[in-house]
Structure 1
């Protein structure tokens, strides 16, 4: 027979604060272990003398260059000193502009192609012929058309981000369970209601996957364009510092690009978690 204390005992006790903190620290350690190991190996190899320090700067030298690029405390990065935020914002503005255009066009066309047989037959063959052309091969035309400014970079970002979004949107719409569409039609839903209330929500996971793939492509194409067609931004600093043999700044620019790309993806994941709230944000193992 259950005692009085068993009856009044709450069904589940809240997780103690110490246990929650331990879990957060464990999660942080799991994420930081590999990067720290790689940095330690890089530092050891750079200090071993296998390569001249000018050719392979140690992480400590790269972080010093990055710190001066950001804060301008000793001007060791010369003309770049203290200009990191300006360079990062220049690159970020190009990424966001080209990515926004690509997302609008890619999702719209992808949904239309996946939904309509007529649009599929008339539009998709042309897009599929354009898709294998590397975006960097458009650089000469982009410079001729738009000149040396932001526009060629935005155009290249659009090209790099458009096709991953497009293909995932098409796949998402075509993968919708036809029984759901039939059920909606039997209940009297119009074609527009079927598209907005059934097809788009069901296709969202695939569309979000395309958006996440595209943000990485957007950063890559921005840097490529800034190396050739723009005179500002992280890619420009990377390429310009290469000419002056400042490989510590080159590596600092690479780290900056990777960090901003990672933060962009985290932002997309946060938006996806709120939009796709019915999906569990876990791995197959459930953790």
Structure 2
């Protein structure tokens, strides 16, 4: 009985601190979110119809939409189009590489970040070298991946790993370093071991920062996969982007860039929404 009353009081306190917004407030926020895309679409339409960049160079939104439908559904418009119907397999190839690369980066980055954040010896051992390597752009690693892995999916995944690893590591380290001293002291007074502290105190406290690092890492992963696929493999959205440029297919360039943006946005929103609901106390 007392527990149910305590839970009810806790829910009331949370509701009072974070009041729910009305549907009208949510609608206003959503309307703001589409203002800039509508303006960009209007600018694109004007530029293509008025031939601002030259006649026939920039396709209209309607022409790009027709190309996108053909790319997805494979309904060619009476022409032999090598891109027709290839959307699904190229999206799947890029998505799989991002998932594998970011997953390995998260696994190693989170473990190493927690250790660096809580151990002075581990910090001295790894941090100077990591901070020296971190500013190197991901494109600088392309020759090394091609030398060691050749033109293969492994080369692309290794670039994604490098790009995603550092944001995850740095944010995890920051989260582990800013754990409440009072919580650590209380746990030690109750006889908690260092392993228990890392698992039950440090890791949960650092989770908001870790998820911030994951969001950044996923974004960098999509950047890296395009760079890698333009050079190191023969499939995926980066490969399609390069082929569209090679064949002067501006409509396919636009469709590919749009697809990359949508996939990056959706993957970021998934992590963001989960983190916002799970760690609402840290996002206010």
Range of TM-score over shorter length: 0.7 to 0.9
CA distance in 1, matches of 2:280, 2:193: 26
Q: 1:91: Cα distance to partner?
A: 0.4
SS at match of 1:41: helix
Q: 1:190: Cα distance to partner?
A: 1.4
CA distance in 2, matches of 1:250, 1:97: 26
Structure 2 equivalent of residue 71 of structure 1: 73
CA distance in 1, matches of 2:180, 2:261: 38
TM-score normalised according to structure 2 size: 0.87
SS at match of 2:82: helix
Structure 2 equivalent of residue 219 of structure 1: 222
- For residues 1-287 of structure 1, the aligned pairs below 5 Å read 20=23, 25-75=27-77, 78-279=81-282
Unaligned runs of 5+ in 1: 1-18, 283-287
Do the aligned residues in 1 keep the contact of 2:113 with 2:173 (CA within 8 Å)? yes
Q: 1:279: Cα distance to partner?
A: 4.0
CA distance in 1, matches of 2:275, 2:166: 20
Do the aligned residues in 2 keep the contact of 1:143 with 1:152 (CA within 8 Å)? yes
Q: 1:142: Cα distance to partner?
A: 0.5
TM-score normalised according to structure 1 size: 0.86
Bigger drift between 183-192 and 149-158 goes to 183-192
CA distance in 2, matches of 1:59, 1:219: 24
Q: 1:173: Cα distance to partner?
A: 0.7
Runs of 4+ in 1 over 4 A off after TM superposition: 22-25
Do the aligned residues in 2 keep the contact of 1:241 with 1:250 (CA within 8 Å)? yes
Q: 1:116: Cα distance to partner?
A: 0.8
Q: Deviations over 1:205-231 (max 9, x none)?
A: 111111101111000000000000111
Q: 1:260: Cα distance to partner?
A: 0.3
Count the aligned residue pairs. Answer: 262
Q: 1:106: Cα distance to partner?
A: 0.6
Do the aligned residues in 2 keep the contact of 1:103 with 1:211 (CA within 8 Å)? yes
Do the aligned residues in 1 keep the contact of 2:98 with 2:221 (CA within 8 Å)? yes
